[in-house]
Amino acid sequence: MIRIRLFWLLLIIGFAHGALGNGFNFYRYSLEEGLPQNYVYTLVQDSNSYLWIGTGEGLARFDGSRIELFTKDDGLADNFVTASYRDSRGRVWFGHFDGTISCEEGGSFVTFRVDSIPLSRINVIYEDRDQRLWFVTQNSGLICFHQESRQMELLYDGLQDYLIYGMVQHPKGHFLLATNEGLVKMNDPVQSSLEISEPLSDFPTVKIKQLREKADRSGFYIGTEFFGFFSCSYSSNSAGITKDLNVKMENRLSSNTVETIFEDRDGLIWIGTDNGRLHLLNPSSYEGVVQHIDVSMLEGKPIRTVFQDRENNMWLGTYGGGLYLLKDKLFSIYSEWQGLPSNNVLSILIGKKGNYWIGTEGGLTIMDFTENATTTLTTADGLPGNEVTALFEDQNGTIWGGTARNGLFMVQLLDGEPRISFPPDALTYESINSIAQDQQGQVIVGTVSSGLYLLRPDVRKVENFTLTNGLSHNDVRQVFVDSKDRLWLATHGGPINMYANREIHYFGVESEVEGFNFNAFAEDLKGNVWVGSYGSGVYCYDGDKFKLFDRSSGLLSDYVYSISCDTKGNVWVGTKLGLSKIEALTEKVVNYPAAEHFESAEINLNAASADPNGDLWFGSNQGVVRFLSNSQEFNTVPPKINISSFRINGEEHPISGVKELPYGNYTIDLDYVAISLTNPEKVVYQYQLEGYENEWSNITFERGVRYSSLEDGTYTFKLRAANADGIFTPKPTVLRFNIAVPLWQTWWFRIFAIVVFGGILYGFIQIRISIYKRRQAELQHLVNERTSELQREKEKVENQNTIISSYYQDITSSISYAKRIQDSVIPPQRILEQALPEQSFMLWKPRDIVSGDFPWFNHSEDQTLVVAADCTGHGVPGAFMSLIGHNGLLQAVRQQHLTSPGAILDSLNHSVTHTLLSEENGQQMRDGMDLAMCAIRREEKVLEFAGANNPLYILRRNLASSELGSHPNIKCFEEHLGEIKGDKRPIGNYPGETQTSFTNHVIPFQPGDRFYIFSDGYADQFGGPKGKKFMYKQFKRLLISIFELPMAEQRKILNQTIMDWQGQQEQVDDILIIGFAP
């Protein structure tokens, strides 16, 4: 029998809450993940939750997913970082290999260098009770940083002989230094001159490689070279120190040289030794042995530093192996390393008395918590075989064990001492799979190849049931008695067997159980029986029907090796790939793959049990896999948000403060990260830009957002994040920025604009008014000038008018006088009236005062001459011409006594031609006259006519049909008017022109005939509605219409007609019409 101190019971008793144990997974960060070097000297987490990793080739900052490197180029004093510390003010300090110091503050580094001596590397940074920072150099003394003055003070003299690895301050004010010579005492060198004691004799005078103050500052821990670990308290004794604990190899510390000490928040001490091993110690329940942490994953790399982050994750910085994160705390593995006889655990039983029975390939281990001891039984102690495949506790508290090839045995604990016995029939050569007991006390044993045994030890009776008795198969993997005293048998081959009330029931295809091979049973808190199959998943039997859970339901595998139920009613399904948990309430399947959680250990057949704490224990090929039910499955620490980049139109801007931007159109880019080192990949984000959007965004994994086309407004960017367990940051992180409103939208600008506009308008108006006034004045001046000018002109015109009027009056007087002359010269109309009383009329309408048209009469006994002459021109010229014509006519008639009109006209022509000839220039005036002359010889009843250009109209009823009308010289117009044209020549020819005689027409007339001679003034008068000439045609028709009227009436009509026609028009020529009836 092997009895050892039950060191790992500490796990269950002392560490149950902390859930620390062996075999946890580590996640490694190394060069491949971006570390600058695999030598990690120091770890520290800043207030923003960034994890700073000091290495020999740079300082790395880790946000859970990205490692950012900082070097001298980024402001560090040196690339080689050997120590770090976050002080009480939140600043992070870094000590370097060359003795320089960097401080990260506000996103940049401040460096310090003491140049008085060549410095060695800084081993530790310590903040004393007065908040002074001490930088402990290896062999260059101490550097004290005074926070207020920000001055570095080097303390070297007296310390140069020591290698210093750490320091703490005693409550009394002095310091303790860990040196290569041991622990020495140093007074406060700032208060007085430095004094160093001899190495304290209570401690080994060896190299003290670690000196860590306890978290509550009640003492310190020491790691020595060759003398193990010490825990000390400050005391009031003369030495001021009490040694509480010394842990060495005798206490299963793997080496007496301690390299690393770290106290976590649970008060557990992590101890790293020079051989690369890691140990755990709980000082409050220390029983003389330490727990080993399996760091085989670290491949023997020495652990340089241990660190616990704000989420309680444990980090290991190694020397050459990089950085390791303790991945989870849900599972632990106990194996040979902790004292099991074999890693292959075949059966587990949690006894009613609290004993843990572990059946392995190398024997049976019994853990007795009350005695705090463990015992391993093997064949040497009387076991029939070392491969313990089945364990069961009967109603009497006796433990039944089954072996792989050597049958049954029983163990009873008498005063804590195991006593092995055997049942009456120990089935000595059987290979036992499973053991159970029904309510009648029968022990039921399932075997590998011999079917089922029913044992009644009290009556020494054994019954065997095999295929021949109705068993489905002789390989009975598990026997199970449920709370209803039903016996369930899992066999390989055939349906599920159940015995109840001495009857066997089969559950196969007809019960919708497709499986053919079964391995395991369990009963949940509701009384449902769960059946694990080999290849078909798990069936849940509620007493009525079976419900299947398989891979399609989410199980890791359909090949089930064990089923167990925890205290919450969850069902745990053990497979080679890991564990699947079917949750009691939701039937949701949660998987725990072995590769991720327990080092790919393979769960063994029916080696599973739940302890009173709710923890589950599974036997595997690598030891006992323990599920820690009270472990902190949920990370309640919200992530820490950091906005890493704030870019405005692509340009980086500081994040602090409120950014005021001038008006414009902006694109805002924000990059951020919420740090949750526990599970950084599962961190999610929500954001909102107040002023732009009214609601939070959807949940996203993205670590950046862009807002485009932002214009004036007040914006507040709010960001929140949740860790992998959905715990959100309590308050969103806020970043504010304002984009100014455009100038023209500000109230003051509007007022200003109104004022300015009003001013401009007023000014404009004033200017306009001024301009108008000036213009008006100018105009007035101009008007005055013009008026004056007009006045002058008026006066001038008036003067001229006066002159003209005078002239006019003179001329008019002259012309009037000339008219008198003309009137006196031209024979009066009474001559014609005398010759033809009431048989004639004359319409003479001179255009001016004197007339160019003139009548001429001469009455003799034989004949009466009637002339209608139209001199060239009118007015005064015509009047002068009329006088010439009058004289010519008088000369022809009275001097030459001519009577024939033709002859008279010849004479007149001759007279006028010669009268108008100018001797002075040899040219003759082209003036003359047109005229028609009639000689009426009433006696002969003939009328002679001669005309110069002017015709004679003869009006007679039906003239055209009369003989006269057919005369060749008479051209009839319509029926009643006949026209005899005058010769086509005027009176007054040019010299040299052919001088022919005027034609003398002789026309016999009848009573009632009317004759008309006239000038062209009547027919040429403009007027009428269209302003046209009256024309001869209309004149003829007018005469036709009136020729039979009395002569006076005719004159009146003719006069009225031409006046009507003329209207407002001016008279264009002199008018002369003479009508007569011979």
Partner 1 sequence: MKFTLRPYLSPLLALCVALVSIESLWGQMVPSRGENIEYLVTFGNQAPKGWGDDDYTQVFFFLVPKNVREAVYIRVYDPDVGGDIDQQNQGWNTRMKYSVYGGRGTHSDPDARKVDPVGNYRSGILLDSKTFGSEPDYNKKWYTFGPFNPTEGELDNSLGGYIFKLIIQGTSGNDGNLYKLFLSTDMEENRRVEGGNGFTYEYSFRLSKTGVAAQLYPYIDQEVIALKQNNFDFDNDGYIKLYSVNKNGHLMTTSNDNQWTQSSHKVSPGERGKSMNIQIIKTKNFDNDMVLYVTNQYDQPVPFFAVPIGGRPHYNYGRTKITPNPR
Closest to partner 1 by CB, 121 vs 1001, is 121
Interface with partner 1 includes 274 (CB under 8 A)? yes
- Distance, in Å, from the CA atom of 768 to the CA atom of 176, rounded to the nearest integer, reads 96
Question: Shortest gap between Cβ of 327 and partner 1 (angstroms)?
Answer: 25
Interface with partner 1 includes 98 (CB under 8 A)? yes
Question: Shortest gap between Cβ of 207 and partner 1 (angstroms)?
Answer: 7
Q: Are 100 and 78 in contact (CB under 8 A)?
A: yes
Question: Shortest gap between Cβ of 43 and partner 1 (angstroms)?
Answer: 16
- Distance, in Å, from the CA atom of 359 to the CA atom of 435, rounded to the nearest integer, reads 13
Interface with partner 1 includes 97 (CB under 8 A)? yes
Straight-line distance from the first to the last Cα atom of the chain, in angstroms, rounded to the nearest whole number: 193
Among 688, 671, 675, smallest CA distance to 723 is for: 675
Q: Out of 5, 56, 61, 174, point to the residue binding partner 1 (CB under 8 A).
A: 56
Q: What are the residues whose beta carbons fall under 8 Å from the beta carbon of 837, sequence distance 6 or more?
A: none
Closest to partner 1 by CB, 199 vs 928, is 199
Residues 107-136 that bind partner 1 (CB under 8 A): 118-121
Q: How far is CA 944 from CA 998, 1001, 1006, in A?
A: 12, 5, 14
Closest to partner 1 by CB, 138 vs 822, is 138
Q: Which window, 14-22, 97-105, 358-366, 928-936, contacts partner 1 (CB under 8 A)? A: 97-105
Closest to partner 1 by CB, 225 vs 599, is 225
Q: Out of 4, 16, 67, 163, point to the residue binding partner 1 (CB under 8 A).
A: 163
Interface with partner 1 includes 275 (CB under 8 A)? yes
Closest to partner 1 by CB, 118 vs 1027, is 118
Interface with partner 1 includes 28 (CB under 8 A)? no
Among 1014, 1012, 1010, smallest CA distance to 959 is for: 1010
Closest to partner 1 by CB, 80 vs 687, is 80
Closest to partner 1 by CB, 56 vs 283, is 56
Under the phi-then-psi rule, with left for phi > 0, alpha for psi from -120 to 50, and beta for the rest, what region is 771? alpha
Among 944, 949, 928, smallest CA distance to 991 is for: 928
CB atoms within 10 A of CB 79: 22
Residues 133-152 that bind partner 1 (CB under 8 A): 138-139
SS3 readout for 951-986:
CEEEECCCHHHCCHHHCCCEEEECCCEEEECCECCC
- The number of CA neighbours under 13 Å toward the Cβ of 607 is 33
Question: Shortest gap between Cβ of 717 and partner 1 (angstroms)?
Answer: 43
849-863 per-residue burial string, b: 16 or more CB within 10 A, e: under 16: bbbbbbbbbbbeeeb
Question: Shortest gap between Cβ of 56 and partner 1 (angstroms)?
Answer: 4
CB atoms within 10 A of CB 102: 25
What does the per-residue mask of binding to partner 1 show for 770-809, with x meaning CB under 8 A?
A: ----------------------------------------
Closest to partner 1 by CB, 37 vs 517, is 37
Closest to partner 1 by CB, 72 vs 859, is 72
Interface with partner 1 includes 976 (CB under 8 A)? no
Among 511, 515, 601, 592, smallest CA distance to 558 is for: 515
- DSSP states along 759-812: HHHHHHHHHHHHHHHHHHHHHHHHHHHHHHHHHHHHHHHHHHHHHHHHHHHHHH
Interface with partner 1 includes 57 (CB under 8 A)? yes
Q: Which window, 93-101, 330-338, 613-621, 931-939, contacts partner 1 (CB under 8 A)? A: 93-101
Residues 930-959 that bind partner 1 (CB under 8 A): none
Among 195, 154, 150, 192, smallest CA distance to 177 is for: 195
Classify residue 894 by its DSSP letter.
I
Closest to partner 1 by CB, 171 vs 300, is 300
Q: Which window, 91-99, 519-527, 552-560, 567-575, contacts partner 1 (CB under 8 A)? A: 91-99
Classify residue 33 by its DSSP letter.
G
- Distance, in Å, from the CA atom of 599 to the CA atom of 592, rounded to the nearest integer, reads 11
Interface with partner 1 includes 158 (CB under 8 A)? no
- Distance, in Å, from the CA atom of 48 to the CA atom of 61, rounded to the nearest integer, reads 11
Interface with partner 1 includes 242 (CB under 8 A)? no
- Distance, in Å, from the CA atom of 260 to the CA atom of 837, rounded to the nearest integer, reads 172
- Distance, in Å, from the CA atom of 623 to the CA atom of 33, rounded to the nearest integer, reads 32
Could you tell me the two tokens for 315? Answer: 């980090």
Tokens 């009556």, residue?
Answer: 459
Q: Which window, 31-39, 190-198, 697-705, 911-919, contacts partner 1 (CB under 8 A)? A: 31-39
Question: Shortest gap between Cβ of 121 and partner 1 (angstroms)?
Answer: 6
Question: Shortest gap between Cβ of 228 and partner 1 (angstroms)?
Answer: 16
Q: Which window, 92-100, 417-425, 841-849, 1067-1075, contacts partner 1 (CB under 8 A)? A: 92-100
Q: Out of 158, 267, 283, 320, point to the residue binding partner 1 (CB under 8 A).
A: 320
Closest to partner 1 by CB, 25 vs 138, is 138
Question: Shortest gap between Cβ of 163 and partner 1 (angstroms)?
Answer: 6
Closest to partner 1 by CB, 120 vs 716, is 120
Question: Shortest gap between Cβ of 31 and partner 1 (angstroms)?
Answer: 8
Estimate the share of the chain in helix, then strand, then coil, as percent rounded to the nearest 5.
20, 40, 40
Closest to partner 1 by CB, 117 vs 777, is 117
Closest to partner 1 by CB, 196 vs 1002, is 196
Q: Are 986 and 928 in contact (CB under 8 A)?
A: yes
Question: Shortest gap between Cβ of 71 and partner 1 (angstroms)?
Answer: 13
Q: Are 282 and 10 in contact (CB under 8 A)?
A: yes
Q: Are 6 and 367 in contact (CB under 8 A)?
A: yes
CB atoms within 10 A of CB 968: 5
Using a 10 angstrom Cβ sphere, with 0-12 exposed, 13-18 middle and 19 or more buried, the burial of residue 841 is buried
Closest to partner 1 by CB, 21 vs 36, is 36
Question: Shortest gap between Cβ of 144 and partner 1 (angstroms)?
Answer: 21
Q: Out of 292, 301, 956, 1001, point to the residue binding partner 1 (CB under 8 A).
A: 301
Question: H or E stretch including 366?
Answer: strand 363-368
What does the per-residue mask of binding to partner 1 show for 166-205, with x meaning CB under 8 A?
A: --------------x-------------------------
Question: H or E stretch including 135?
Answer: strand 133-137
- DSSP states along 763-777: HHHHHHHHHHHHHHH
Could you tell me the two tokens for 255? Answer: 């080496």
Interface with partner 1 includes 305 (CB under 8 A)? no
Residues 207-236 that bind partner 1 (CB under 8 A): 207
Closest to partner 1 by CB, 319 vs 617, is 319
Closest to partner 1 by CB, 272 vs 951, is 272
Q: Which window, 33-41, 488-496, 802-810, 965-973, contacts partner 1 (CB under 8 A)? A: 33-41
Question: Shortest gap between Cβ of 118 and partner 1 (angstroms)?
Answer: 8
Count of residues of this chain found to bind partner 1 when the rule CB under 8 A is applied: 24
Could you tell me the two tokens for 411? Answer: 């163990």
Residues 36-55 that bind partner 1 (CB under 8 A): 37-39
If you count them, how many residues does the chain have?
A: 1078
Q: Which window, 34-42, 238-246, 277-285, 871-879, contacts partner 1 (CB under 8 A)? A: 34-42
SS3 readout for 693-706:
CCCCCCCECCCEEE
Closest to partner 1 by CB, 320 vs 877, is 320
Q: Are 307 and 260 in contact (CB under 8 A)?
A: no
Judged by the rule CB under 8 A, the positions of this chain that interact with partner 1 are: 37-39, 56-57, 80, 97-99, 118-121, 138-139, 163, 180, 207, 274-275, 301-302, 319-320
